[in-house]
Amino acid sequence: MIKLSLTQERDPIQRIQELVNNLKTLEEFASNIDLSEIHYLTPLTILPIAAKITKLSENCNISLNTPNSLSSIFFPEGTTTPIADDNKNQMPICHVNLIKPEMNRINLIERISTEYDHFIIEYLKRNQEVSENYRGSISYLISELCDNVIQHSEAENFWIFSQFWPTRGELEICLLDDGLGLKGCYDRRGIGTSSHYDALSQAIEGKSSKLETPNERGYGIGTNINLFCSSELQGEFTLISGNACYHNSSNIVEPKLGTIPINWQGTIISARLMRPTTRVDILKYISK
Amino acid sequence: MERTIYLKNLLNSSQVALRTTTDLILQEILSQSDSKKQIIIDFTDINFISRSFTHQFITAIESLKTTYQISLKNMLPEVASMVLAIQEQKINQDFTKSRKNLFPNNFDSQNPVSFF
């Protein structure tokens, strides 16, 4: 049996460390997984674990010992039809299989992103007034990141999960896929990158993975970082692809970029944003 | 004589994504036999802010304006400001002012360092 653990750690780097430790433990796969010591979770720390366990369970039976808090968010399988629970501050985990033949990949992801966006906004409205610009920020994040999955990832699965902390006015959204990852996208299109680290840095710089249109805007990750780490939203942005990890936030001078001791097949993106107290002009953050 | 196309109705009737809506609207416009007819695209209850969709949509509309009389109405302020910026190609203007430091100070893409 392997045991996973998440503490109430607030420091984002420590939370990333906990995630990496748990994913590393899962790589030493065992059929019994004990999650009873997961007392506090965030989308970034739990969604990759859910995805990993779901993938592992495709090939064999896994016995899970989970606390009730996890079953209420449809852990680990997720649902394609999230339903809001008035008593919870978490949205259910939404998981979409993109290779089912009856489903149109693009429409499916866009439908999920539109519904999930609407779902979050309606949920937030129960707890607070949601200004148009806050609403726009959330819509922008979800649509842009889902757009990346559609255009670049070639993923088989897509997951999204979010949590709201009403007293702190914070919202965290995590999206991930099991696709090519950033390096795979560049390599597939004949754009050489020396490592996941190199690919991640090129994506942040805005390099497009489309060889035929190299001047076209790339993943838009730089835009997301600028928007969510802005003084208005005071947020955090984390991106993992392969064995490379990036973290930036409004309250650090120098972002972190480096390698981690796991290799995630695909991409993990997490953003945390504060309820803005001033108007957010999304337009000024958007590059062509 | 004018014809109004309600974005909301297209979304409700077909349950399609916004990207596909662009194609549907363009088909609607192009299907008009009389190019002198005024076409109004009504944004009532539309709250999207997806730059990729808006950019694609407005660029297409702008190119059709040389042939058709098209006007946009009932846009929310967020949408309207996005549309205006795209129409006036101002979207990149203030970008550099709001840039955050994207990379660590000693960053070298060819020499990875450990994250922790």
pLDDT recorded at residue A134? 72
Q: Which residue of A has its CA nearest to B108?
A: A198
ipTM value = 0.86
pLDDT recorded at residue B10? 65
pLDDT recorded at residue A211? 52
Identify the residue among B109, B110, B111, B114 best suited for mutation to test binding to A, counting A beta carbons within 10 A and taking the highest: B109
Using a CB-CB distance cutoff of 8 angstroms, which residues of chain B are in contact with residue A229?
100
Query: What sign results for the dihedral spanned by CA atoms A10, A12, A13, A19?
Result: positive
**CA angle at A86 for the pair A83 and A88, rounded to the nearest 5°:** 90
Instruction: Give me A141's structure tokens.
Output: 């994040």
Residue A287 scores a pLDDT above 50: no
Q: Mean pLDDT, to the nearest integer, of A13-20? A: 95
What digits encode the pLDDT tens for the residues A153-200?
Answer: 888 898 999 888 888 888 899 999 999 999 999 998 888 899 999 999
Q: How far apart are CA A49 and CA A21, in angstroms?
A: 11
- Closest Cα to residue A147, out of B41, B99, B98, B48? B48
> CB neighbours (10 Å) of residue B77?
10
Residue A250 scores a pLDDT above 80: yes
Which 8-state DSSP code applies to residue B50? -
The average confidence (pLDDT) of chain B is 70
Q: Read out DSSP for B3-29?
A: EEEEHHHHHHHH---HHHHHHHHHHHH
CB contact under 8 A, B98 and A288: no
CB contact under 8 A, A106 and B17: yes
More confident call, A220 vs A91: A91
Q: What percent of chain A has pLDDT over 70?
A: 81
The average confidence (pLDDT) of chain A is 82
Residue A55 scores a pLDDT above 80: yes
Considering only A5-14, A32-41, A143-152, A209-218, which range has the smallest mean pLDDT? A209-218
More confident call, A133 vs B5: B5
Q: Which residue of B has its CA nearest to A140?
A: B50
Q: How far apart are CA A198 and CA A214, in angstroms?
A: 17
Q: Is there a contact between A186 and A196 (Cβ–Cβ < 8 Å)?
A: no
Residue among A136, A143, A258 whose CB faces B114 most closely? A258
A78: left (phi over 0), alpha (psi -120 to 50) or beta: left
**CA terminus-to-terminus distance, chain A:** 50
- Greatest Cα pair distance, chain B, in angstroms, is 66
Q: Which residue of B has its CA nearest to A229?
A: B100
Spell out the residues 6+ positions from residue A5 whose beta carbon is closer than 8 angstroms to its own: A18, A22, A37, A38
Q: Which amino acid is at A17?
A: Q
> CB neighbours (10 Å) of residue A140?
26
pLDDT recorded at residue A52? 95
Q: Is there a contact between A5 and A41 (Cβ–Cβ < 8 Å)?
A: no
Which range of A209-213, A244-248, B80-84 scores highest in mean pLDDT? It is: A244-248
What digits encode the pLDDT tens for the residues B25-76?
Answer: 777 777 765 666 788 888 887 765 455 566 667 767 777 777 778 888 888 7
Q: Mean pLDDT, to the nearest integer, of A105-122? A: 71
Chain B, residues 51-90, CB within 8 A of chain A, namely: 51-53, 76-78, 81-82, 85
Q: Is there a contact between A237 and A270 (Cβ–Cβ < 8 Å)?
A: yes
Burial-class residue A252 by CB neighbours within 10 Å (0-12, 13-18, 19+): middle
- In our burial notation (b when 16+ CB lie closer than 10 A, e otherwise), range A184-216 reads bbbeeeebebebbbbbbbbbbebbbbbeeeeee
Model confidence pTM above 0.95: no
More confident call, B14 vs A230: A230
DSSP-based three-state secondary structure for A204: helix
More confident call, A137 vs A246: A246
Spell out the residues 6+ positions from residue B18 whose beta carbon is closer than 8 angstroms to its own: A110, A114, B11, B48, B50, B53
Alpha helices by DSSP H, chain B: 7-14, 18-30, 51-64, 77-87
DSSP-based three-state secondary structure for A77: coil
CB contact under 8 A, A140 and B97: no
Q: CA dist A238 to A200, A222, A269, B23, Å? A: 12, 12, 6, 34
Distance (Å) from the alpha carbon of A78 to chain B's nearest alpha carbon:
22
Q: Is there a contact between B1 and B38 (Cβ–Cβ < 8 Å)?
A: yes
More confident call, B42 vs A103: B42
Q: CA dist A161 to A95, A171, A260, B5, B85, Å? A: 9, 11, 23, 35, 32
| Angle formed by the axes of helices B51-64 and B18-30, nearest 10° | 10
Q: Which residue of B has its CA nearest to A142?
A: B50
Between strands A170-177 and A157-165, the pairing is antiparallel
Distance (Å) from the alpha carbon of B90 to chain A's nearest alpha carbon:
10
